[in-house]
Amino acid sequence: MLFTSRSSSAEPTDQAPSARKNGDSGILPPGKVLENLSNSISESITQPAVRVGKELKSMLLDPAPVKPVARPIVAPSIRAGDKPRLLGGLTVLIPAYNEGKFVADTIRSVQRQSVHIDHVIVIDDCSTDNTGEIARSCGPEIVVIRPPKNCGSKATALNYALEYVSTEYTLAIDADTTLADDAIEKLMPHFDQPRTAAVCGMVLPRFVRTMWERGRYIEYLYAFLFYKPIQDYYERPLIASGCFSAYRTDILRQLGGWNTRTVGEDMDLTWSVYRLGMSVRFAPEALCYPVEPHNYHFMSKQLQRWCAGFAQCIKVHWKDIVGTSVLRSMVATALWDAVVSVFALFILLPLLAIFVHPAFLLGYFLDLPTIVVPVLIYAAKRGEFFKALTSIPAFWVLRFVNTYFVTRAFWNEFIGKRSVTVFEKGH
Amino acid sequence: MFAGLPATGIGGIFYMALVFFMPFKELWRAMRGESSMERWMFIASRWGLFAIVIAMMWLQAMIMKWAIGADMSKFMAAGASAAAGRETQSLAGATLYLAVLSLVGVMTLVYSVRIVIAVRRALGMR
């Protein structure tokens, strides 16, 4: 039983130290806590941050297991009515770089959650827009931290904030991702098994307007509702999506946080969890809605990073993958398909169509039923049948683009030795 | 497949195999008292879904065969059209055969590498 009602549970143990001094029970009303802490919050957050940054650097360079160095964050908890509480507590981390347009929606979706969230930390990664101000304006319980300089990647920004986490669970969401109101309530019960180290949610694009968003919409419906439940049955989701996943904080720390050696930090972390002998679960009923690339420019950046991340993770983890049941076969078949598809789509089928018979062009639609049938069934269940039906052609376009980028990524990573190291956002 | 990767290919066949083996795994779990009706329902839904997918693929193959046959018949004699139909059939068979063969090959390679790594680790080699 992970949830308990507020009335029956103990009060939070992670209250600010200064708040404890001011009351007999150590617990103050939120307003009073805020009053007492209004000056100390910025100091407590900003000052250690510089020091932590250095520690973090050495931590990431050191491959040895890292000793947990949790420091309680100095912020009052979100208190909202009789929301159920998570035993052990939950901290939400929101890394943000120039997300002024979306970060408020993200924070509000966290505030609307049907369960109690102990802490919300926004990592304003030296944004040049007003991300930090907007985040602060969302409420006094939102802690905004700003590293001394731009972290350069989501992984580093998350690691920077991990130092402040004092709860048993840590949830990371992207700053452009909103959550369904019951997303966390649906996500957290999947930690019922002690060996579950991470749980990821279901992802659907927030906007489905342009061709690229439509293609991604079909891709997500297919990947998250067709393949991922099968992966979950065998307790081997290929990836706990970085845009919405929760972790046991002690396991995160044991792994050294989110690793920066690859640009696919979420896949890297997922496979590292498997290396520990722990499992990852998928909660299809826990919904999140990220903003997906709306044009080719941003889609290409995102695909370049994703595909390079996949290739880099294979390079880093291949020996461990081979020793991990089911995952080894999933990765091997994905790798094979990724490599062969370029040959089939760009060379074999056009040549056959030109030199043998034009009907070979139908080969492009050979697996149409395997994609269309599940997608339309799931879309119909969600009342989005026509949206899905009209989006299917966009998926075929995206597929060609995917093929190009995955081929380029594997060429660059394994043959060309031009590894992607720059973390570029998808919008 | 996950978002960002292009094809279903042998991955699709592999996942089909995973679904096929689900009841056997669940039986094993049931014997250990770890099964539940919910899990069996999930397996049934996956089997149902794959049954629909296979039925639709069969239908698609029939349509393609008819389309190619009809198209060829415009240009060829009736006998040649029938031959084209057989070609289509054998082509579909060959594609499936090739895909399954690829899957077996990939699995063999993966398990061979696994054995090599296990042996090297046992011998204290990197």
E-assigned strand segments in A3-86:
3-4, 85-86
Helix (H) or strand (E) holding A334: helix A327-343
Helix (H) or strand (E) holding A143: strand A142-145
What pLDDT sits at residue B3?
Answer: 53
pLDDT in tens, chain B (126 residues): 455 454 567 888 899 899 999 999 999 999 999 899 999 999 999 999 999 988 998 888 788 777 776 665 554 555 555 555 555 556 667 777 888 888 999 999 999 999 998 898 888 876
Which residues in chain A are contacts of B8 at CB distance < 8 A?
337, 367, 370-371
Mutation pick from B5, B15, B42, B52 vs chain A, by most beta carbons of A within 10 Å, is B5
Asked if A223 and B3 come within 8 Å (Cβ–Cβ), the reply is: yes
Q: Look up residue B22 and give its two tokens.
A: 């689900």
What's the start-to-end Cα distance of chain B, in Å?
A: 31
d(CA A407, CA A410): 5
Q: Find the CB nearest A367 among B8, B22, B106.
A: B8
What pLDDT sits at residue B90?
Answer: 62
Which three-class secondary structure state does DSSP give residue A288?
Answer: strand
Q: Is A222 near chain B, with CB under 8 Å?
A: yes
pLDDT tens digits along A191-207: 988 999 999 999 999 99
Nearest CA in chain B to A363: B64
DSSP for A104-124, please give it: HHHHHHHHT-SS--SEEEEEE
| Low-confidence spans in chain A with pLDDT less than 50 | 1, 5-76
In the Cβ-directed half-sphere of B28, how many Cα atoms lie within 13 Å? 5
Kindly provide the ipTM of the predicted complex, given to two decimals. 0.83
Helix (H) or strand (E) holding B58: helix B37-75
What does DSSP assign to residue B22? H
Q: In angstroms, what separates the C-alpha of A338 from chain B's closest C-alpha?
A: 6
Find, among A384, A374, A391, A171, the residue nearest to A286 by Cα. Answer: A171
Tokens 């439940």 locate to A229
Asked if A227 and B68 come within 8 Å (Cβ–Cβ), the reply is: no
Q: Look up residue A426 and give its two tokens.
A: 């998808």
d(CA A255, CA A305): 22
The count of other CB atoms within 10 Å of the CB of residue A67 is 8
Q: Find the CB nearest A399 among B6, B60, B117.
A: B6
Which three-class secondary structure state does DSSP give residue A170?
Answer: strand
In the Cβ-directed half-sphere of A242, how many Cα atoms lie within 13 Å? 27
Tokens 């307003």 locate to A31
What pLDDT sits at residue A427?
Answer: 65
Q: In angstroms, what separates the C-alpha of A220 from chain B's closest C-alpha?
A: 6
Domain coordinates in residue numbering, chain A? 1-88+96-169
Alpha carbon B91 to its chain's center: 16
Q: Find the CB nearest A338 among B5, B102, B106.
A: B5
d(CA B117, CA B119): 5
d(CA A309, CA A194): 29
The values of phi and psi at residue A187, to 5°, are -80, -45
d(CA A392, CA A365): 12
What pLDDT sits at residue A209?
Answer: 94
Q: In angstroms, what separates the C-alpha of B39 from chain A's closest C-alpha?
A: 9
Which residues in chain A are contacts of B52 at CB distance < 8 A?
373, 377
E-assigned strand segments in chain B:
none
Q: Is A266:A242 a contact under the CB 8 Å cutoff?
A: yes
Which residues in chain A are contacts of B60 at CB distance < 8 A?
365-366, 368-369
Q: Is A288:A179 a contact under the CB 8 Å cutoff?
A: yes
Q: Find the CB nearest B2 among A223, A234, A328.
A: A223
What pLDDT sits at residue A204?
Answer: 95
pLDDT tens digits along A197-249: 999 999 999 999 999 999 999 999 999 988 999 999 999 999 999 999 999 99
Nearest CA in chain B to A330: B11
Q: Is A426:A212 a contact under the CB 8 Å cutoff?
A: no
Q: In terms of C-beta density within 10 A (0-12 exposed, 13-18 middle, 19 or more buried), how is residue A362 classed?
A: middle
Q: Is A303:A402 a contact under the CB 8 Å cutoff?
A: yes
Tokens 């998928």 locate to A282
Q: Find the CB nearest A337 among B9, B22, B95.
A: B9
